[in-house]
Structure 1
C-alpha cells in the first residue's frame, strides 16, 4: 500500500525509522485525546507512550532480523515475533492499572482496552504496516466515539430515592420515568417517622434504562423536585 514502509531482510534507513516513530505518536495521540476528553485514567501521554514503545519494539525486532539475514549464514535461526508477543501480553499489566474497583463497581475497562489497541497499533507501525494501522486506528475511534450512539443497549440500574409527601412525589417520580422511557422492573419501600412527626419514604427502584437515556440526566431531574431529599445509585 502507498503508506506502508515494509522492507524485509534489509535494515531500515534513519528516515524510515523516524517516519514510523512519528506515525506511532500520531496514532497514539488520536486515541489518547478521546480518552483524556472523557477524563479517563489513561490520557493522551499514556497512549502515546504505549504506542511509541510498542513501535520501538517492532523496529528493534525488524532491525535485528534484517541484520541477522544480512550475515548470510544459513545455520543461524531467526525467531520472529518473540518480542512482539511479550508486548501484547505485557501491556495487560499496564491496562490493569487503569481499572478501578469501587463499591463493587468496575470502571476503566474501555481505557485498558484502548491501551492494548494502542500497543497493537504501535507494533503494526513499527513493522511497517502503516495503512493497516491507520484503518485500525479509525475503527478504534469509531468504536470509542460512535458505537454507543449507534447501538442502543438497555441497561439495568438501581436507584434509591428518599422523599416526603408520598402521593405528590410518587406521581412526579412515575411521570419522570414515563417521560424518559424508563421501565420499573422492581421496587422496595421503606417509611420512617422523624422526631418532628414527618414521614420520610425511601424507595429503591430496579430500572431498565433505554440506551438513549443518560443515567446522570435522570438523577438530575429527580433531584430538582423540592420533596426529594436524596437520590443515590445502588448496585444491581
Structure 2
C-alpha cells in the first residue's frame, strides 16, 4: 500500500468518525434536556407585562399576557405547554440549550418557537427542574397504577413492577434523575416514620424528608416517548414542604 493510499484511508477514517460524532451530538440534542420557566414579572418590572412567542421567521405567534386579576392568560397555548401552575403563575416550556446572544428556542406542542431573553425567564436542566416537584401518579385506592415501573431504565416486560395506590392517601415519589426518556423516582417516606422523625413543613423539612427517603425503593418510569409526554402535569406538584 503506497503512501497516498494510506493517507486517503486515514482521511476517510477521520471523516467517518467526525460524521458519527456529529450525528451523536444531534441525537443527544432532543430539545427535552432543558426547561425554560416563565415567571410572573416582579412588581418593579414595568416592561415585562407579557412575553411574546415568535415563529422561527420572526413573526409573532402569540403573546402570553399577564394581569393582576387573572394571572397569565392562556388560550392559544392550552395543552401545548409542559407545565402551567396558575397558583404560582409559572409557565414551563421544553427548550434547546441556550446560545449566547440568541433567543431561546422553546417547544410549543410539536413546533419550535423563539422567545426573547428576560430576567424573569429561568433555564434549568430538565432533571434539575423536575427535582423541585413530587411525582404522584393518579389512581384509585388499593388499585394498581396504569404506569409501568422498572428496576432500571429499560422497558423489559419481564422486569415490570406493579405498584398499588395507597389505601389512605396518594402515593408520592421524589424525582431523582432524568436519563433521556426515563425518570428515576424514589418512594416518599411513609407517614408513620415521618411523624416519628418530627419533620418540619418547610424547606429544611423537605430536605430532611428527602434524606430519610433515601432508604426507600427506587424505580424507573418512562416519562416520555419521543415527543409524547407520558406523565401528565396533573401528576406533578411543587413541593416546598412535606
- Classify the TM-score, shorter chain: under 0.3
- Tell me the TM-score normalized by structure 1: 0.21
Higher relative contact order (CA 8 A, sep 6+): 1
- Tell me the TM-score normalized by structure 2: 0.20
Indicate the structure with greater helix content.
Answer: 1
